Amino acid sequence: MFIQMRKIEVTEGNSDKVVERFSKPGIIEEQEGFIDSTVMVKKVRRGNEEVIVQIRWESEAHWKQWEKSDAHIAGHKANLGKPKPEHIVQIEGGVYHVQAVKTAKKAETK
């Protein structure tokens, strides 16, 4: 398994805008090797908020296939030259190879 993650720092009160953007149906769900995506918000009392977007792929090859796809490239080209939204403070990204996974043990039924 292969995971792409983004940490998006946004101004206070604006995490819902990022959650909405990454929660909408899109073409990524139709891509071969796509497993799922998870959008998380770090609870803060005050100040900038943090949104984590995790996208799981069956393999790095599937992720690369998506990154090089016409649909993905067209989506980025559509935003070229546009200023980033004012509520976005910073975006960090990373990709990870999953090394181990633990799952819950199911109780045996008699």
The CATH number that domain 2-97 falls under is 3.30.70.100
Q: Model confidence over 73-108: pLDDT tens digits?
A: 988 888 888 888 999 999 999 999 999 999 999 877
Sketch the domain layout of the chain as residue ranges. Answer: 2-97
> What pLDDT does residue 80 have?
82
Q: Which long-range contacts link 45-50 to residues 24+ away (Cβ below 8 Å)?
A: 46/12, 47/12, 48/9, 48/10, 48/11, 48/12, 48/89, 49/9, 49/10, 49/11, 49/12, 49/13, 49/14, 49/15, 50/7, 50/8, 50/9, 50/10, 50/15
Q: What is the pTM of this model?
A: 0.85
